[in-house]
Structures are given as structure tokens and as C-alpha cells.
A and B are shown apart, each in its own frame.
Chain A
Amino acid sequence: MEQEMAYDRQGKSYPVADFKDDYSGDKLGFWVFLLTEGMMFGVLFLLYGIYFYRHTAMFAFSSADLNIWLGGTNTVLLLISTYTMGVATLMMRQGKLKLSAMLVGLTIFIAIVFLGIKASEWGVDISHGIYPGSKLLDAKDTGEILFFGLYFVMTGLHGLHVIIGIALMSWVLLLMRSGGIHPEHTIVMKNVTLYWDFVHLIWIVLFPLLYMIGV
């Protein structure tokens, strides 16, 4: 499509930005969206901070109950996955479509493993009777109730974001096949990569907050 121009009184021409295929607009929009996500998680971090301040000892005590090795493995997995996703974008820009699709597939795989590990952790806690509203937990110290309440909410919300990430990356794979993403048109790919980066960054903060304060 030809670039549309606007003309001033001297007849000089200026390019007009259109809402269709506006690369910078799409990028800006996604950054603004990430800002809202940041505000949302920010509230949870704030709540965590306040209750940590009030119940420091009990938070550390409860944190020791969590399996740091499983959490740590998950952290490493997410680090790797964000790398594979980043390289996938790079390969896409270089025109290596097949390799790029493979890397996205790998990222999805790692994300699923992450969820599996997370599910088994939750499973163990729940089988021990530790979940929000359980009789066992409600009988404990308020610091413990709050820690596990926040633990389940924060990892749950993060897990939800991982699931959404998997859906988005699968959509990217479909778009690659149908030609919706190609080396000249990568904005969707870039935004999904950005999203996945964000999901991993949140976990990077969650991990020390939840798992490491008890070490």
C-alpha cells in the first residue's frame, strides 16, 4: 500500500500514520498492557511486603515448608524457556522459520513441565491438608495462614499467566503455519516473547519471596 501523505500550506508533504499495520502502535499498546499487569502483581507484592513485616518469623518458618529444589528447578526452567523464546524471535527475523517454530515448540514444552512441577507441589501441600480454608491451616498461627494464602494466590495467578502464555505461543505456531507471522511481520511474535519475558520476571521475584526466606 502506498504511504498516505498530508500537505501543509506550502505543499510540503508529511506521512500519515494509519491504524492498520501500525507497528509502533502495536508495540506501545503491548507495553501499556504489561504496565497494567505490573500494577496487578504489584498489589500482591505490596500485600506480601506488609504481612511479611508484621509476621516475619512465621513467614520464614512457613517458607521452609516449601520444596526449594522443585521451586529452584522451575526457576531454571523458566530462565531457559525465556532464552529459547528469545532466540526463536531472533531466528524469525533472520528468516529461519522452521528453527524458530521448533524453538517456540520447545518453549511450550518447558512451560508445560513447569506447570507439571507446580501442580505436584500444590498436590503435596493439599494432600498434607495445607490449602486456603482448610481446618489444619486455619488452626495455625495467623502468620502461617497469611503466608499460605498469599502463596496459593500468587503462584496461582502466575500459573494462570503461564497457561495463557502456552495458549499464546500455540497461537503463534498456528500463525506461523498460516503465514500470519513472517520475517517482515513479526509484531505478534515479539509481543508474545515480551509477554513470556514478563511471566518469567514475575517468577524471578516470586521465587525468593516464597521459597528462599526460610533458608
Chain B
Amino acid sequence: MMPSFYYETHTIFGTHKSKILQWIFSIDHKRIAILYIGVLFALFFCAVGAALTMRAELFFPGQQLIQAQTYNQLFTFHGVTMIFLFIVPGIAAGLGNFILPLMLGARDLSFPRLNLLSWWLYILGVVVALSSLVTGAGFADTGWTFYAPYSIRTDSHVLSTLIAAFILGLSSILTGLNFVVTIHRLRAPGMDFFKMPLFVWGLYATAWIQVLATPVIGITLILVILERTLGIGVFDPSKGGDPILFEHLFWIYSHPAVYLMILPGFGIISEVLPVFTRRTIFGYRSIAISSASIAGIGYLVWGHHMFTSGISDIARLIFSFLTFLVAIPTGVKIFDWLATLYKGSIVLATPMLWILGSIVNFTVGGLTGLTLGALGPDIHLHDTYFVVAHFHYTILGGVVFMFIGGMHYWYPKITGKMYDEVKGRVAFGLMFVGFNMLWFPMFIAGFLGNPRRYFDYLPTFTIYHQLSGIGALLVALGLLLVLYTFYKGLKEGKEAGPNPWRGTTLEWHIPSPPPLENFSKIPYVDFDPYEYEDGEPLVQLDENFRRIR
């Protein structure tokens, strides 16, 4: 048997003796993916720490722990880290990097060295972003949206955060480019687009958003940088510039970026569901096409972030209408998943629990999204905790749950070990209860008029913030337990074998962990990705990857 990729690798300089250099210069997509996942979750926990600090401050009305300005910087740090450093690269660069070539029957991404460059750019972005914590006049206090003209005028260190976001954008573009070319060029013979696993479809739609939307934010951030350093006037109202244009340009990236976070997560759901219901996914084609249409329509709805900014009524109506349209392909997906569950022999393993939890949370987040997409309610709810609750339901309760579910699902493939089921389920329980306790009260607080981003609130809102605070603690405990479960599994988990979940896609046909270059022989794919017969995978391949059944 071939040794796994943990034992041999190739680096950008050929081979290397030093173990550390073998990791940080490796051009193997699997090693790069693990590097990403490590850094991603380290940053995730930093941002969770910032959030917990804010929650602690908000436990009682009035000021206790931190200054107002510190609070402004904390929520900016939380937002920038979570959005630009964690969830945007998140699933695609982490799990996607690892799984995509395995699912396609490819030996690596199309441009392995570019992949390494993306990782290094990402690290550079992280360093530049975090450097402003210790240099200049403190971390940015603009919120992660950098709205002009405040971002032009504030004394805090916005410059390095802007530069970091630009570098991270570049890294994201290169990853997307790599994925697009890989999916077009390196599918195993016989695998046409409608034989690709649905996770690949999610990544494909994501990659196009990365390629087409990220340059827009890139140049916009550069313009803000030039505005701060040279004063070109484009977004500066005192020089005739238009700050609303900044909002337009910002959201024409940042709204599609929401789907850039979500679509790979949807892909994970579509992988996990058929495996743990032991049946073919319902409506394969409609799920695949809905990913593409969400990506497409997602481009046209940015104006719904600007209903209260003073854009014309016609524009607001159109954006409101288009926003509602996104619900259609998303609804198609959700109903396909429900139909897959119907009469399936459901196995409530940990990945499945996370996925089911994410569907519940995401549905709440999606439906409140419609509330916000409607013009009238949005005027009332704009910039209240309702909005905060809505996007945490979609991104944290939805995407992060999907991410963690995916981490459990592919854990045996990545490590070759199994984790402890009981711990896994308890962690999910803590997290699910904690999450809903954390965010549901915020819908009410927001509806009653509690504005967001303030470090203080009226005493009438105390109860909601205290419930949230307790929920936040449960979430933190749940996350720590997830981490501990993974660590324990690595130390003393039993061998997983190539296919512990009885999955059907190509990655389950190779050893866990996979060898360097994944496949000794590339298979011919004349089967659909999810074919089950009496609850067992239908397709079997022999050791030369020739189909025998």
C-alpha cells in the first residue's frame, strides 16, 4: 500500500528534509488544505473571544468592562476576522481544497504552485490585518464594511485593514481561478458536469463569484486607500465624491460574498444527506442548477443593504423584488433535502445532526431574510439587532454548522481516524441549544427597537441580552468540546478504513488518509454520484479503479 500524504510530499523546491519546510512549502492540495484549516480555526477562536468579551460587556446595561471605543474596535475585529479571515476563505479553501480533487478523480488542483501562493497571500493578509492591533492608533473602528466617508476620516488604523482585505481578496481570486480551471479540466474521464458530486457544484458556483466579484471590492478598497493617503475625492463628499457609490461598490461584492460563504456549505449538506439517509439525493439536477442560479441572482440584490441610504424608490422596489427571487432556488434546495429525508433510513450520526441543525437554523435565517428584504419592515428593522440575529442565523447557525458538520463527515478521510460519537453528539446539543438561546432573543430585541453596534442599551432590553450571554457561554463550551473531540480522535481514535460512512463519491474509494497524488489509476466515471441499492453503495471499484459492479 502506498504511504499517505502525511509521510511523503513534494514541495515547491522539490524534496526537503525539514518537516516544517515540507509543510509550509508543500504544493500538495491536501497539505495546503490542512494548513488553511488550522489557521482558519485559530482565527475563528480569536473572533469568538472578541464576541464573548462584547457579550460580557452587554450582560448589564451601562459600562462595566470596556470603553466605548474599545467596543467599536472589538466588533470591527470580530467582523473583519470572521468575514475576511474565516468564513470567506473557510469552506472553499479549507475543505474544498482537500476534497475537490478527490471528488473529481484528479491528482491535484490544476495549479498546485498557485494554490501554495494563495495560502501564502492569505497568511500575509492575516499578518497585515492583525498587525494593526499593535501598530498605529489601534484597530479599525469602522465595522467590517469600511463605509466612507468615516473610513476616510477616522484616526484608527484602517489602512492596514484595507490593505489586508485587498491581499485576502487576491488570495481568494486565485483560489477561485484554480477551482474553475480544475473543474473544467481535471474531471475524471466520463464525469460530465451532471455526474459531479454536489459539493463540487457548490464550489464551482463559489469559484465564479470569487473570480467575478472580488476584483470589484479590490479596486474599491484601493480607492479608499488612495482617498486616505492622497485624497483623490472619489468617495469624499467634500470634494464632490459620492459615499453612496462606495456602498454600491462595496455591496456588489459583499452581497455575492454571502453566497460565496453559503454555497459550499449547501454542497456539504447535499453530500451528507444521501449518505446518512442511504438513498439517492432527490432532485440532483435541480440542486446543482439552483447553486448556479443562487450565484447568478445573488449578484443583483446588493441594493437591499441600502434601503435606508437614500436611493430612489424605484431602485428600492426593484432590489426588494430581486431579493425575493433568491428565495426560489434556495427553497428548491431545502425542499429537495426534505424530500431526500422522506422515507430515508436516517442515521443520526454526528455529521447528520450538524447538517439537520444547520437546515433548521438556516431556514429561520432565510425566512427572516425575507422579512428584511421587504421594504416596509426593513425601514423599521434596519440596523437593529434583528439584522444581527438574521445574519448570525444564516452564517453561524447555517454555514458554520455546515462547516463543522463537514469537518466531522470528512474527519476520517483527512485523519484516517474516528472520533468519539458520544462526545460529538453532546457537543452538537450544547451548540444547538446555546446558539438558539444566543440569537433568538435578539430577533425580539431588534423588533422592539434595540439598535446594533452600540456598546450600551436601554434597561428594558436587559433580559434579552442576558439570555444571549448565557447562550453564548453554551456555544463556547460546545465549540471547545468539538475541538476536544477532534483532538481525542486524533490521539486514540480507531482506524477509520477507506469508507466508514459507506459513501459513494470517489473520495471514499481511496485509502484514508489518501496517498500523495490521490489515485494510483484514474477511474472511468460512468455512474451518478449517489447511487444506493438497499442502503448500500451500488458502485464498486477494484484496486485498479476499474468498475466491477
- Interface positions of A (Cβ within 8 A of B): 4, 6-9, 14-19, 22, 24-25, 28-29, 32-33, 35-37, 39-44, 47, 50-51, 55, 131-133, 138, 142-143, 145-146, 149-150, 152-153
Contacts and interface: CB of A to CB of B under 8 A. Distances in A.
Given A14-B189, A18-B186, 8 more contacts: A19-B109, A22-B110, A28-B181, A28-B184, A43-B215, A47-B245, A132-B232, A145-B233
Contact of B240 (A16, A18, A146, A153): A146
A39 B526 contact: no
A143 B111 contact: no
B234 A149 contact: yes
Interface string B226-248: 10001111100001111001000
A123 B9 CA distance: 52
A144 B145 CA distance: 29
Nearest to A46: B249
Contacts of A51: 234, 240
A40 B188 contact: no
A133 B242 CA distance: 17
A125 B223 CA distance: 21
B234 A146 contact: yes
A13 to B, nearest CB: 9
Contacts of A4: 522
B189 A6 contact: yes
Contacts of B213: 39
Nearest to A152: B232
Interface centre among A9, A16, A42, A150 (most CB of B within 10 A): A16
B453 interface: no
Contact of A28 (B185, B226, B240, B547): B185
A35 B212 contact: yes
A40 B216 contact: yes
B215 A39 contact: yes
B45 interface: no
10 contacts: A4-B522, A6-B522, A16-B188, A17-B185, A25-B185, A28-B180, A29-B110, A36-B212, A50-B242, A132-B232
A6 B188 contact: yes
B234 A47 contact: yes
Contacts of B219: 40-41, 43-44
B185 A133 contact: no
Contacts of A43: 215-216, 219-220, 249
A24 B185 contact: yes
A6 B524 contact: yes
B546 interface: yes
Contacts of A131: 230
A28 B185 CA distance: 9
A132 B233 contact: yes
Say whether chain A's binding surface is mostly helix, strand, loop, or mixed.
helix
A198 to B, nearest CB: 13
Given A6-B524, A17-B186, A133 B234 contact: no
Interface string B483-523: 00000000000000000000000000000000000000111
Nearest to A151: B232
A50 B249 CA distance: 13
Interface of B: 106-112, 173, 177-178, 180-182, 184-186, 188-190, 211-216, 218-220, 223, 226, 230-234, 239-242, 245, 249, 521-524, 526, 545-547
B514 to A, nearest CB: 16
Contacts of A47: 223, 234, 245
A79 B314 CA distance: 44
Contacts of A133: 230-232
Contacts of A41: 219
Contacts of A32: 177, 180-181, 211
A24 B187 CA distance: 14
A150 to B, nearest CB: 7
Contacts of A55: 240
Contacts of A33: 177
Contact of A19 (B110, B214, B521): B110
A157 B219 CA distance: 10
Contacts of B216: 39-40, 42-43
B521 A6 contact: yes
A149 B177 contact: no
B185 A22 contact: yes
A8 B524 contact: yes
B96 to A, nearest CB: 16
A43 B211 CA distance: 14
A164 to B, nearest CB: 13
B180 A16 contact: no
B177 A14 contact: no
A47 B526 CA distance: 50
A145 B239 contact: yes
Contacts of A8: 190, 524, 526, 547
B245 A7 contact: no
Contacts of B184: 25, 28
B346 to A, nearest CB: 33
B239 A146 contact: yes
A147 to B, nearest CB: 10
A199 B385 CA distance: 47
Contacts of A44: 219
A146 B189 contact: no
Contact of B177 (A24, A29, A150): A29
B382 to A, nearest CB: 25
Contact of B106 (A19, A24, A143): A19
Contact of B212 (A15, A39, A138, A146): A39
B189 A16 contact: yes
Contact of A9 (B111, B173, B230, B526): B526
A142 B522 contact: no
Closest 6 CB pairs of A and B: A142-B240, A133-B231, A149-B232, A14-B189, A39-B215, A40-B215
A14 B524 contact: yes
Contacts of B232: 132-133, 149-150, 152-153
A145 B28 CA distance: 50
B215 A142 contact: no
A49 B16 CA distance: 53
Given A22-B185, A28-B181, A36-B212, A7 B233 contact: no
Contacts of B177: 29, 32-33, 36
Contact of A50 (B218, B233, B245, B545): B245
A41 B215 CA distance: 9
Contacts of B108: 19
A17 B104 CA distance: 12
A142 B239 contact: yes
Nearest to A15: B189
Interface centre among A15, A138, A153 (most CB of B within 10 A): A153
A192 to B, nearest CB: 16
Nearest to B180: A32
Contacts of A25: 110-111, 181-182, 184-186
Nearest to B226: A153
A131 B223 CA distance: 15
